[in-house]
Structure 1
Amino acid sequence: MEERKYLPIWKKYAPVIRLHLKKSNAEDQQFLLNKTDFESAGDRGKSGYTFNMLIENGKVVNNISGSAIARDLFETLTGDEYMKEFLKGKSVKLNVGKSFMLTIKTSHISSFKTVV
């Protein structure tokens, strides 16, 4: 398993992510990451740096175990008090595509979930 090499990069982006998370309440957010930052931390080769992460009520609900870049982002999000609090009661989808664009989509989780 990789040793949290993307954590310092995500911590550098934390203030920008915090701002975009807040804005994502109103509309989807996107911003371009610096490709060189990630490539200098580790060569992902053909697997690339892309990932999808779905967080519901502060917990990741999809499998990100194979993506060190996603795991380190989640650790950054939950290590910041504002972002950790923001994730409560919400469904937040984060993804990074091949162009290094981080997309954030936020919706509120209904407290009236239908029991099937």
Structure 2
Amino acid sequence: MEERKYLTTWKRYIPVIRLHLKKSLNEEQSFKLNITDFESAGDRGKSGYTFNLSMENGKVINNISGSAVARDLYEALKADEAIKAFLQDRSIKISVGKSFLLTIKTTHVSSYKTETSQE
């Protein structure tokens, strides 16, 4: 397991991510990350920095074990109280593509789950 080398980098982005998370309630949000911030933290080489991070109620629902960048982002998100509160009752997908564009898409937790629990 790698030591959290991207955590400091992500913590610098937390205020921007917090802002975009709020805006993502209305529409998908994207903003460009600074590639040199991540390259100076650790070289991912050919594997790159791309990842998908899917969360429901603040818990990761996809496998991010192979991506130190995604794991460290999740740690940074959990450490921020405002973001932690925002993640509750929501389904959020955060992804970073090859062009270093971070995209945030937020939906409320799937309705079928609440419907089935009421039966």
> Partners of 1:89 and 1:56 in 2: how far apart?
7
1:63 corresponding residue in structure 2? 63
String of CA shifts for 1:46-79, please: whole Å, max 9, x gaps.
Answer: 1000000100011000000111100000011110
> Partners of 2:80 and 2:59 in 1: how far apart?
14
Q: Secondary structure at the match of 1:82?
A: helix
Following TM superposition, by how much is the alpha carbon of 1:113 offset from its aligned partner in structure 2, in angstroms?
3.7
Q: Secondary structure at the match of 1:49?
A: coil
Matches within 5 A, 1:1-116: 1-109=1-109, 110=111, 112-114=114-116
Identity %, equivalent residues? 70
Q: Secondary structure at the match of 1:91?
A: strand
Q: Structure 2 vs 1, CA of residues 3 and 89 (structure 1 numbering), >3 Å: closer, same or farther?
A: same
Q: Secondary structure at the match of 1:37?
A: helix
> Partners of 1:87 and 1:113 in 2: how far apart?
20
Following TM superposition, by how much is the alpha carbon of 1:26 offset from its aligned partner in structure 2, in angstroms?
0.6
Q: Over aligned residue pairs, what C-alpha RMSD do you find?
A: 1.1
> Partners of 1:23 and 1:92 in 2: how far apart?
12
Following TM superposition, by how much is the alpha carbon of 1:2 offset from its aligned partner in structure 2, in angstroms?
1.1
> Partners of 1:9 and 1:40 in 2: how far apart?
9
> Partners of 1:34 and 1:66 in 2: how far apart?
22
> Partners of 2:10 and 2:75 in 1: how far apart?
9
Following TM superposition, by how much is the alpha carbon of 1:22 offset from its aligned partner in structure 2, in angstroms?
0.4
Alignment size in residue pairs: 115
> Partners of 2:69 and 2:47 in 1: how far apart?
12
Q: Which structure has greater helix proportion?
A: 2
Structure 2, gaps ≥5 residues long = none
